[in-house]
Structure 1
Amino acid sequence: MTGPTEVVRIPILPLGLVNAHLVVGAAGAVLVDAGLPDTERAVEKVLRFRGMNWSDIRLIVITHAHIDHAGNAARLRELTGAPVCAHEGDAQHYRQRERMTFCATGTFGRLFFRTGLIQRAYTPFEPDLLLKGEEVLDLAPYGIAGRVLPTPGHTCGSLSVVLHDGQALVGDLVSSGVLLGGIVMTGTSKSPPFEDDPHQVADELERLSSDGSTTFYMGHGGPLPKAEVLRHVGRLRTTSRRQGLN
Structure 2
Amino acid sequence: MSTPSIVTIPILPFGMVHCHLVIGETGCVLVDTGTPGSEGKIERALKENGRGFRDVTLIVITHAHTDHAGSAARLRELTGAPILAHAGDLDYYERRKEMTYCVAHWWGPLFLRSGVPGEPYLPFTPDILLQDSASFDLSGYGIDGRARHTPGHTAGSVSVELTSGDALVGDLVASGVLLGGIMRKTHAMRPPFEDDPKAVGAELMGMVDAGMQRFHMGHGGPLAAEEVRRHAHSLQVLGPGRRYGMKAIGCACSRSKLMQIAD
Deviation at 1:100, TM superposition (A): 1.1
Deviation at 1:224, TM superposition (A): 0.1
For structure 2, list consecutive stretches of 5 or more residues without a partner in the other structure: 240-263
SS in structure 2 opposite 1:118?
A: coil
Deviation at 1:84, TM superposition (A): 0.3
Number of residue equivalences: 239
SS in structure 2 opposite 1:206?
A: helix
Which residue in 2 is equivalent to 1:111?
110
Q: Is the 8 A contact 1:182 1:222 kept in 2?
A: no
Deviations 1:104-146 (Å, cap 9, x if unpaired)? 1112222101212211211000100000011111000011000
Which residue in 1 is equivalent to 2:53?
54
Q: Is the 8 A contact 1:139 1:145 kept in 2?
A: yes
Q: Distance in 1 between matches of 2:171 and 2:109?
A: 17
Residue 4, structure 1, aligned to residue 12, structure 2: no
Q: Is the 8 A contact 2:63 2:157 kept in 1?
A: yes
Deviation at 1:233, TM superposition (A): 1.0
Which residue in 2 is equivalent to 1:135?
134
TM-score, structure 2 as length reference: 0.89
Q: Distance in 2 between matches of 1:227 and 1:64?
A: 25
Deviation at 1:28, TM superposition (A): 2.2
Which residue in 2 is equivalent to 1:192?
191
Question: Where is the helix percentage greater, Structure 1 or Structure 2?
Answer: 1
Deviation at 1:238, TM superposition (A): 3.4
Deviations 1:53-84 (Å, cap 9, x if unpaired)? 11110000000000000010001001100000
SS in structure 2 opposite 1:69?
A: helix
Q: Distance in 2 between matches of 1:57 and 1:119?
A: 27
Deviations 1:19-58 (Å, cap 9, x if unpaired)? 1000010012100001000011110111111111111100
Q: Is the 8 A contact 1:181 1:220 kept in 2?
A: yes
Q: Is the 8 A contact 1:167 1:213 kept in 2?
A: yes
Which residue in 1 is equivalent to 2:151?
152
Which residue in 2 is equivalent to 1:92?
91
Deviations 1:137-159 (Å, cap 9, x if unpaired)? 10000110000000000000000
- % identical aligned pairs: 52
Deviation at 1:204, TM superposition (A): 0.4
Q: Distance in 1 between matches of 2:164 and 2:144?
A: 8
Q: Distance in 1 between matches of 2:225 and 2:107?
A: 26
Q: Distance in 1 between matches of 2:11 and 2:118?
A: 18
Deviations 1:188-210 (Å, cap 9, x if unpaired)? 00000000000000010011111
SS in structure 2 opposite 1:64?
A: coil
Pairwise CA RMSD = 0.9
Q: Distance in 2 between matches of 1:119 and 1:31?
A: 23
Q: Distance in 2 between matches of 1:20 and 1:4?
A: 19
Q: Is the 8 A contact 2:15 2:179 kept in 1?
A: no
TM-score, structure 1 as length reference: 0.95
Q: Distance in 2 between matches of 1:112 and 1:4?
A: 38
Which residue in 1 is equivalent to 2:205?
206
For structure 1, list consecutive stretches of 5 or more residues without a partner in the other structure: 241-246
Which residue in 2 is equivalent to 1:172?
171
SS in structure 1 opposite 2:10?
A: strand
Residue 123, structure 1, aligned to residue 122, structure 2: yes
Deviation at 1:181, TM superposition (A): 2.5
Moved >4 Å (runs of 4+): none
Q: Distance in 1 between matches of 2:81 and 2:198?
A: 34
Q: Is the 8 A contact 1:29 1:58 kept in 2?
A: yes
Q: Distance in 1 between matches of 2:61 and 2:183?
A: 26
Residue 36, structure 1, aligned to residue 35, structure 2: yes
